[in-house]
Structure 1
Amino acid sequence: MVKSRSLASLVLLSLLAACGGGGGGGSQVVATNPPVSNPTPTPPTPTPPSPTDGNIVTTVPAPTYLPGSGNLNVFNAINALRGKIGSGLLAQSLQLDKSADAHWSYINQNGIQEVHGETAGKPGFTGVRAGDRIAAAGYNAAVSGEAIYSTNGADKYASCVGEWANSVYHVALLFASTIDIGVSANNFTPASGQSTLCVVDIATSTTQSGQLPGAGSIRAYPYANQVDVPYVFFNRTETPTPVPDLTEAGTPVTVSFETRSLAVTTPIAISQFTLTPAGGTAVEARILVNKGGKLGPVIATNGPALTDDQQLLGFAATLVPVQRLKPGTVYNVSLIAVVDGKTIDKTWSFTTAAQ
């Protein structure tokens, strides 16, 4: 998804590469597109709200999506989760709506096979990459990203956001420091039959600064006291496939160390990151991090084994249980890490859905 720190450094940072689905037999995508920067910026529409509470946006204008529409469902679901996590809300952008609609229409006419890419000359073509399409819609993006999910059946808009959340790579949508969002979520009829297709474009313009929490903050998904959390992750439906040696996995737990003040050059050391069922012992799990520091600081270990994954956000760590979790069970997460020279010791719990 998107890494941003300040207006000056936005264009230097890459987007997360991922495509495929996180679970439930669908297809979900977070695009990899170089940031778009134009020499004569024009502000997106509508004007975004002023960030509050340490640069976190807590209120946004009511969107113009029709009541009961897939667009409104997806918009509200994303912002509800981002609010719970502490990532800040995203404001509707009519220009990002336009780019999302254009790619939805392209897929509807040409099929899901190309997913993010478009081919010049085909019906509905507006740009090869998501960044191109966002620019064509008139949005001058410093950073941008795209998420796509499709599933068989009608009116399953809530599952779009749920599947993005229950993943290793696509959960980045919930942690991105972007400001604006555009949504196109409708039913379409591919050759394989009736499906629901959700396309989401997110971005920060060249006139904006990304939103991030204050120093010492840790954001996590699943969040504290969350209920009805999925207990299985079908990792092989996400592309690139995380932990590819596993047939399936338990629900991933992702934490983001990124704050407004944390520098890219500041190393992070993890001392403990465990997931334990109430009254039980810690589950066997892989801890995935982006060790290289290309998208953030170097993440090292003070004890637990870390698996390098260059697809992850640079400020994040994701714990992936090697087996599905137990349904209807309280799980406790324990995280100890040294961040910016200070020890962070955090515990929280969530409850998996009943079988």
Structure 2
Amino acid sequence: MLNLKVGKVVKICSIRKNCIEVLVKINEKLEKAIAYNIFVNNLKVGNWVIVNTTAVDLNLGTGGYHYVLSNLNNMTVESKCKGHIMKLRYTPLQIKVYACEEQDSSYHEIFNNFDSLNNMPVLIGGLHSILPPVTVVLKKYNRNLKICYIMTDGGALPIDFSENVFFLKEKGYIDGTITIGHSFGGDYECVNIYNALIAAKNIMNCDICIVSMGPGIVGTGTKYGFTGIEQGYIIDAVNTLGGFPICIPRISFKDKRLRHFGLSHHTITVLSEISKTSSNLVIPKFDDWRLKYIIKQINDNKIHIKHNIYYMDFNDIINVLENSDIIMNTMGRNFKSDFEYFISAGVNAKYVAEKMSCRV
């Protein structure tokens, strides 16, 4: 069910490109809310708004925000987009986008004439928080790499919700974005992962592609009940199109949930059962029981039989991530408090950067 309340905007807190964070007074209480320009027009202090409070009412979150559904002082919103593809289809918030593959798009024939990704590396993450360590390490090793980020619809749907994407683009770590499925707001829109990979290669002319959901993974504590399971069929999509898939493993020794200790059950399920084709992944070469623990997980689940696993030193990556101008955060934990998670993402980026150097 949908929880809706009426409130009054009392402060504009921050403005990103297509996203405004505001304070709204609801029943004499100040609440954080986010408004997207695509839905809400000309929002100002003093405006009365309808907000969706469902997630906060349930104590869910990424970030604990309400979402502005409508500005009661300026309710007319008219899209200037010339596209014909609908996202959030058959809901009150359905929007039209101009997808790259539409029949009247100048890019249309690119998809019909596509041949191969020609071994383009595609880094595939199970959480949105892999973006900072991966992009920072890639650009550290080669600032000239052109990097595309494809955001799936496994988490947040508006790409403008992601502060990671905003700052990574602003600082030049990401060169362009594509949103697929029902996610929206990227520099380019595509219907699915296959056409997004083609667009990344043949429209954006990128060197490397990173694919992950937006903030807010869905998990249920069941074997298959998590949206990060998409890593499996994205691996297969990359192989189908002739790319080079790198599956970023989710590794942590700070998560209190046993199923996410060491190599997360998310990664184990994806690699042992969901992906039907092989991928490449790099494990940090920890010098103690941690590496032995991960190797046992890999062997017990026969992951090494299907996939190519490499082990890499990471001492040089520590300084890169510690001294980065981008904040590292996952599940409320920073670089120091979940060191293994960020190092795991970083070594996979280093592996790709070195692979690209060998091509030159």
TM-score by length of 1: 0.29
Question: Higher helix share goes to which structure?
Answer: 2
